[in-house]
Amino acid sequence: MTQMPENIRLQLERLMTDYCYAVDGLQDVQPLLDIFTDDVVADFTSIGLPMMDGKGAIKNFFDGVFDEMTHHFHFISNFRPESYDGSIAVMTAYVIGMGHAADGNSVEVQVKYRFECIEQNGRWKCRHYTITPMMPLPASLDEIHGED
């Protein structure tokens, strides 16, 4: 396996950090969509949430999330390259994700993100995004994000 070049590693770390800021903005979904390719697949099934195929599905999901949540906090660290073959770069990171909904429910999860990325027009974008739980999931996760 080729080693991931430092500048690509840095760009992926920043893309994943930008994703957290975008998810936590809770108002405009566009900065969040800009993280992904048009044909992105996002697999949230291992935390009991949907499999999403294409940017439209991601928009629908997060439109719902942004409507119901009043607070979000996605804290990211433990960045680590997983693979790089010259065109596809994969990075993982750990995330503590917290949310508070308008109905008063709160949730906290400890998960791993995996971003499989390619370069488009000089900018790295995620084309496959997976969330994997690292600690047992709270029951409140389904109550909060699972209804829409």
Q: Which residues contact a copy of itself (rule: CB under 8 A)? A: 14, 17-18, 20-21, 24, 71-80, 94, 96, 98, 100, 106, 110, 134-136
**For residues 52 and 111, which CB has a smaller minimum distance to a copy of itself in the complex?**
111
Name residues whose C-beta falls within 8 Å of residue 85's C-beta, 6 or more positions apart in sequence. Answer: 1, 2
Task: Return the residue matching tokens 């993100």.
Answer: 113
Smallest gap from residue 72 Cβ to a copy of itself (A): 7
**For residues 18 and 142, which CB has a smaller minimum distance to a copy of itself in the complex?**
18
Smallest gap from residue 95 Cβ to a copy of itself (A): 9
Smallest gap from residue 78 Cβ to a copy of itself (A): 6
Q: C-alpha 9: how far from its chain's center?
A: 17
Smallest gap from residue 24 Cβ to a copy of itself (A): 7
Smallest gap from residue 10 Cβ to a copy of itself (A): 9
Q: C-alpha 134: how far from its chain's center?
A: 15
Q: Are strands 123-133 and 36-43 parallel, antiparallel or unpaired?
A: parallel
Nearest-angstrom CA–CA distance, 126 and 15: 8
**For residues 14 and 123, which CB has a smaller minimum distance to a copy of itself in the complex?**
14
Q: Which of 132, 148, 116 is nearest to 36 (CA)?
A: 116
Amino acid identity at 130? T
CB 26 within 8 A of CB 72: yes
**For residues 10 and 88, which CB has a smaller minimum distance to a copy of itself in the complex?**
10
**For residues 2 and 7, which CB has a smaller minimum distance to a copy of itself in the complex?**
7
